[in-house]
Structures are given as structure tokens and as C-alpha cells.
Amino acid sequence: MADVVLVTLNARYFHAAFGLRYLKANLGVLCDQSKILEFVIKDRPSDIVEAILAEEPKVIGLGVYIWNVEAMTKLASLLKRVVPEIPLVIGGPQVSFEYQDQPILEDADYLIRGEGEVAFSKLCLELVAGRRPTEKIISGGLPDLEKLSLPYELYTDEDIAHRTLYVEASRGCPFGCEFCLSSLDERVRRFVLEDFLNAMDDLYRRGARQFKFVDRTFNLKEDVCTEILEFFLQRLTPELFVHFEIVPDRLPEGLHPLIERFPAGSLQFEAGVQTFSEEVAQRIGRRQNNAKVEQNLGYLRRETHAHLHTDLIVGLPGEDVALLASGFDRLMSLSPHEIQVGILKKLPGAPIVRHDDPWAMVYDAAPPFEVLRTSVIDFATMQRLKRFARYWDIFHNSGRFKESVPLVWSNGGPFDSFLQFSDWLFQRLRRTHAISLSALSEAIYRYLLETGVDAGRVKEAVSADLLRVQPGKALFSFLRTDDYSKAKRKKVGLPSRQARHHQPDEPA
């Protein structure tokens, strides 16, 4: 039984609810009387309610995010119908701003805005004691990170074995990019580094080998970054994998020797480039030195084993297809392992809203609130670009078609060529999800032949990709010949998605 039950719906099982663990860790005397229940968005609301009520809670807290707000709204409504007497507290990024017209607020007794560790603990003490505060909307403020209890001991052995472990050494961001909620908190606050690293060491000793940092600007402070990198270098094992989000135009040379010591498969950098257009960047309050971006990303690809995941955004105010294509090709020239082409989302509270009228920005009213059209990209074109992003992830970012995909742009620029391929794919397949490897392989094979690429090169490339992804298995019938069906390739000893970006003879 638990007096306080914390609930959220994850997108997938392997995600872990980091925010709920922070709330529980900071409940004080109620910590041992609380429980975290995690579900996935496809679970039935009635089954979730049954599991919650089996704990006989006195308070129910719901973590609401952009990916689960619709399902959480249904869950809140059902809870209020079944047990209207139990106080229902909501919080999370999705309901911290522009909450007034959100349906879930109608069924909530309390809403905690922003960082809720301190405010939620105080509220729960009142509610468990039978007292009902009159104020429904409560501001969490910005808690003193030096006084917060760290949540990492709440990761269970099952979490360590099967889930992504999220960690953070800091909160906030000094930059003002208007599409991001972090721009609202311009001050970077840091946890006590010694305490944080001690917690990481405890996780490591318990068997954790994958650490995903959620800090928005990991490499902002060189001395802190140095200590964290050295911490993991001292604990290198073949299974270690650490992910950081970095500011792409800031990579102090003092960090280079440390980064270079990480072997392939152990270090991943996510670099949010977002746009190469200086005019667009200025318009949305983004400060970025593009020359430094190119210098740093080029260095990381040439001189290190770091896996490089980069981001671009489609639909920024005033960025048309030509500007997008130019930026995409510029980024491709730096050969990152992945380019995540994201569609602009209108997050509640994000300052990007000020461009709605000047640039005719129209967004979907349903989550994830993606842009539908702008004054320079019409709806039909935006649909094409969304398919481009999806197919790019399937064919390029997955690493499954490392040899085949470059043939798509062998006679042109990457963006324009792949957009044509994307259009052809959709006409042929009429879907962007649930496509088998066989269908994908045959599609790129047929397309390359239709566009005049040498048949021998096509067969060799597609066959090599399949033999790398499915070593030892027979090729699909459209490729099968005695020479190719007898060939075998070894798997690369890296995380599965990263391994496909490397040849077997590259260092592992």
C-alpha cells in the first residue's frame, strides 16, 4: 500500500520516468510511503486505474508530457469518475504553461507548474494529513539543486538491466531559442558535482553501463565537462555507453584529448544545429557560430570515435525549402552519423508563438502540435518534408543502408535527391511505418536501377548492406545469386544502431 502513487505513461517500456523518480526522492518522510507506477501509452486506462487503486492511495500524482497528454487526459477523467474523493495532482512540461484551456485541468484538483520536487512534497504532506489547500495552481519555482535529494538509487535492478537511465548534472540553458522551453530558464544551475559523480559511481557498481545525460548544454563549462569525461574514462568497459547533448559551436581544445580516448561505441554526442540560416537563427533568438559548428563537427568525425547525432528543424519561421536544403547539404558535407530531421512543434509556453501571424504559422491542435504550414512552406510541401524526415531516419540514420543510400545522390545534392526518392517511395509504398526490411531493400534497389545507377554497383551495395545487417542469412530473392548468397560478414561489436554506421574493420 502507498499513501502517494506517482503515475505516468511512457512512450515505450525501455524509457524510465526520470521526473517521477525525482518527485519520490524528495518526498521526505513520505518517500517510503510512496510508489511509482509506470505504464505505456497503449495500456488500457481501466487496467491502469485498477493498478493504481490497488495501492489504496491518499494522493495520486500524474506526470504529463507532450507524448502522453491525450492518454493522460483520459486516465484523469476515468480516475475522477471512479474515485472523485482522492486528490489528483498533475504536473510536467505539458501542463506547466498555457494550461488554462487544457481538458485535463478540469479533472485535476491541483496543478504544479515547473520543477515540482519541493512544491509536490509540501502539497502531499498537507493532503495525506487530510488538509485541502485552496489554491489549485501552484508554482514549483526553481528549487536549489544543492538541496535536492538525487533520485538515482530509485533506479531498480530491472531498470539498470532493461531501461534507458537518464541522468543530469545541470538544469537550464543560457540560450534563448524560441522553439524550446529551456529558453524560459536562462540561468544554468548545477548539481554538486561530487555528489552527482558519487551517485553515478553507485549506479556503475550496480551494473549500469548506459548513461543518457539530459543536460541541455553539457559542454558549456569546460572544467565540469572534463571531470565527467574523466570519470567515465576511468570506468571504460566494452559495454559502456554515454550520451551527451552538446552546444555544437563550443568544443574547447582542452576536451579533445579526453574525447579521443573513448573507443567506438562508447560515446555519443547529440549536436542541435537546427538551422544554418543566420537570418532564421537571428529571428528565433538563436546564437550560433556556423563556422565553429563546421570546425567542431568536422573534428569529431575526423579525429574521434564519437558517434555524432545531429539535429535540424523543419518549419522554422521564414525558412523555406531552399534554405532547408542548403543547410541539410551543408551538414551532410560534414558526414555526421545521423541527421535527425525534426518537425517544428509548438510547445505550450514557447516564445515561438510570436511568429504565428507574421509568418502564417499554423500548427496541429493535437499532440505533438507539429507545424502544418507556414507562409513559405504550404501544407502539401510540409507533408512531403515529414515523409522525407521519416524515410531519412529509416534509410540513413538507421545505418542499415550505409552502402546503398549514397547512391541516391550520386548525381545530385543529398537533399533534393533524397526528396525525390522519398516522393517515389510514398507513391510505391503508400505508408511510412511498419515496412519490412525486404520491402525497403527492394524499393531502394528498384529506385536506383530506375534512375540509371549502374546495375552492378546497385546489386553490390544493397547486398553488402543486407549481409552486414543480417550476417549469415540468405539474401532476398530479388538479389540472390550464387556469388552473393555465399558471402558473409561479421557483426560489429557496437550498440546495434551505431554498429550499422561502421565497417567491420573499423576500431570497435
DSSP, residue by residue, 431-453: -SSS--HHHHHHHHHHHHHHTT-
Enclosing H/E stretch for 308: strand 307-314
165-377 CATH fold: pyruvate-formate lyase- activating enzyme (3.80.30)
In degrees, to the nearest 5, what angle opens at C-alpha 325 toward C-alphas 324 and 329? 120
Q: How confident is the model at residue 507 (pLDDT cuts 50, 70, 90)?
A: very low
pLDDT at 182: 79
Q: How confident is the model at residue 187 (pLDDT cuts 50, 70, 90)?
A: confident
Q: Tell me how far the alpha carbon of residue 233 is from its chain's centroid.
A: 24
pLDDT at 491: 47
Within 10 Å of residue 75's Cβ, how many Cβ atoms? 27
Mean pLDDT over residues 180-205, rounded? 91
- Give the tens place of pLDDT for each residue, 346-393: 999 999 999 999 999 999 999 999 999 999 999 999 999 999 999 999
Nearest one of 45, 3, 9, 54 to 24, comparing CA atoms: 3
Q: What is the pTM of this model?
A: 0.91
Residue 6 phi/psi, 5-degree rounding, is -105, 130
- Give the tens place of pLDDT for each residue, 229-281: 999 999 999 999 999 999 999 999 999 999 999 999 999 999 999 999 999 99
Q: What is the mean pLDDT of the chain?
A: 94
Residue whose entry in the numeric block shows the C-alpha cell 533506479:
155
- Give the tens place of pLDDT for each residue, 465-485: 999 999 988 888 888 764 444
Residue 48 near residue 79, CB atoms below 8 Å? no
Q: Tell me how far the alpha carbon of residue 479 is from its chain's centroid.
A: 36
In degrees, to the nearest 5, what angle opens at C-alpha 24 toward C-alphas 23 and 26? 70
Mean pLDDT over residues 295-322, rounded? 98
Within 10 Å of residue 184's Cβ, how many Cβ atoms? 16
pLDDT at 501: 73
Mean pLDDT over residues 29-58, rounded? 97
Does the pLDDT value for residue 399 go beyond 70? yes
Q: Which CATH class is domain 4-139?
A: alpha beta
Q: Kindly state the DSSP code that residue 454 receives in the 8-state scheme.
A: -
pLDDT at 184: 76
- Give the tens place of pLDDT for each residue, 311-348: 999 999 999 999 999 999 999 999 999 999 999 999 99
Q: What is the amino acid identity at position 489?
A: R
Does the pLDDT value for residue 489 go beyond 80? no
Mean pLDDT over residues 91-97, rounded? 95
Mean pLDDT over residues 120-147, rounded? 96
Q: Does residue 54 sit in helix, strand or coil?
A: coil
431 Cβ partners below 8 Å, 6+ apart? none
Q: Say what percent of the chain tops pLDDT 70.
A: 94
Q: How confident is the model at residue 494 (pLDDT cuts 50, 70, 90)?
A: low
The upper half-sphere exposure of residue 204, i.e. CA atoms within 13 Å in the direction of its Cβ, equals 18
Measure the CA–CA gap between 263 and 259, rounded to whole angstroms.
9
What is the residue extent of each domain of the chain? 4-139, 165-377, 400-508
How many helices (H) and strands (E) the chain has is answered by 18, 16
Does the pLDDT value for residue 118 go beyond 80? yes
pLDDT at 496: 66
Q: Say what percent of the chain tops pLDDT 90.
A: 88
Q: Does residue 5 sit in helix, strand or coil?
A: strand
When comparing pLDDT for 508 and 454, which is higher? 454
Q: How confident is the model at residue 82 (pLDDT cuts 50, 70, 90)?
A: very high
Extract the C-alpha cell encoding 159. Answer: 531498470
pLDDT at 486: 45
| Pairing relationship of beta strands 189-190 and 267-274 according to DSSP bridges | unpaired
Mean pLDDT over residues 178-186, rounded? 81
Enclosing H/E stretch for 363: strand 362-363
